[in-house]
Amino acid sequence: MNQRQHSAIAENLQQVRERIASSAALCERSPEEITLLAVSKTKPASAIEEAITAGQLAFGENYVQEGVEKVAAFSNHQPPLVWHFIGPLQSNKSRLVAENFDWCHTLDRLKIAQRLNEQRPKDKAPLQVLIQVNISDEQSKSGISLAEVPQLAADIAAMPHLMLRGLMAIPAAETDYDSQLAVFRQMTEAFNSLKLSYPQIDTLSMGMTDDMPAAIAAGSTMVRIGTAIFGARDYSA
Ligand SMILES: *Cc1c(COP(=O)(O)O)cnc(C)c1O
């Protein structure tokens, strides 16, 4: 690990924090309302270490096995890291998520919710969960429609080992700000109405490297940023 790489991730993180602050200021929000999740999928533990040194403690992973290995590698860290599972979840992998992660952003089926609830170790805090909404991406099989949210929310709210914290979305890629904003605003509307029924709901997970300012303008409380922190991902290996 050379010094230049070290400072690159620290500098990137600083720039992302500044962009969060300036996006928040534009819509008169406080930057403290927005949690930065560092998406470390495909990146080595050394990159995570650099981010930790720069003050980052919340990380997002997409692949169960890779994520579990990283959770284990940093399990003795103080203060503890907070691990978010943000990838598609198959039921045969639910136990690993229930046992290792603090959050799951991609809940979109009753069956998986039931499994996570049963498999969550009883000596741990409830698994913090978000319902994934398929807000605009017709190609994607992940996420439920807005119309299906109230029923799944009610089912999850009755499960003692899950804590429903809000909603998550990965909209279809749009390059212009106004189109991004219009989609994110539909999520905010659904989030606000869900909050009326469930007072513990406080998390709207939306915004990635290419659409973060629009997500913040629409009301995101958690942005999931990979590329802008860790650089482009290499899937060729
Ligand atoms: C990869 C990924 C991200 C991060 O995307 P970037 O464009 O690299 O910031 C965020 N959320 C999810 C669900 C992802 O899979």
In-domain check, residue 80: yes
Atom of ligand 1 nearest to the CA of 39: 4
Span from the CA of 224 to the centroid of ligand 1 (angstroms): 6
For 177-232, what is each residue's pLDDT tens digit? 999 999 999 999 999 999 999 999 999 999 999 999 999 999 999 999 999 999 99
Q: Per-residue pLDDT for 6 more than 70?
A: no
Q: Per-residue pLDDT for 5 more than 60?
A: no
Determine contact, residues 24/33, Cβ cutoff 8 Å: yes
Residue 199: is it exposed, middle or buried by C-beta count within 10 angstroms (0-12/13-18/19+)? exposed
CATH of the domain at 36: 3.20.20.10
β-strand pairing of 103-107 with 203-205: unpaired
Length of the chain: 237
In-domain check, residue 237: no
What is the per-residue pLDDT for 2?
Answer: 47
Ligand 1 pocket test: pick from 13, 19, 20, 39 the residue with the most ligand atoms within 8 Å of its Cβ.
Answer: 39
In-domain check, residue 212: yes
What is the per-residue pLDDT for 4?
Answer: 47
Residue 38: is it exposed, middle or buried by C-beta count within 10 angstroms (0-12/13-18/19+)? buried
For 72-90, what is each residue's pLDDT tens digit? 999 999 999 999 999 999 9
What is the per-residue pLDDT for 145?
Answer: 96
Q: Match 């907070």 to its residue by tokens.
A: 82
All residues at 6 or more sequence positions from 58 whose CB lies less than 8 Å from its CB, including other chains = 35, 36, 37, 38, 81, 82, 84
In-domain check, residue 120: yes
For 96-140, what is each residue's pLDDT tens digit? 999 999 999 999 999 999 999 999 999 999 999 999 999 998 888
What is the per-residue pLDDT for 237?
Answer: 61
What is the number of structural domains in the chain?
Answer: 1
In-domain check, residue 236: no
In-domain check, residue 150: yes
Atom of ligand 1 nearest to the CA of 41: 1
What is the per-residue pLDDT for 1?
Answer: 46
- Residue list, ligand 1 pocket, CB within 6 Å: 39, 41, 62, 86, 170, 208-210, 224-228
Cβ neighbours around 54 below 10 Å, total: 18
Round to whole Å and give the CA distance between 121 and 181: 39
Average pLDDT over residues 131-152: 94
Domain that holds residue 122: 3-230
Round to whole Å and give the CA distance between 188 and 206: 10
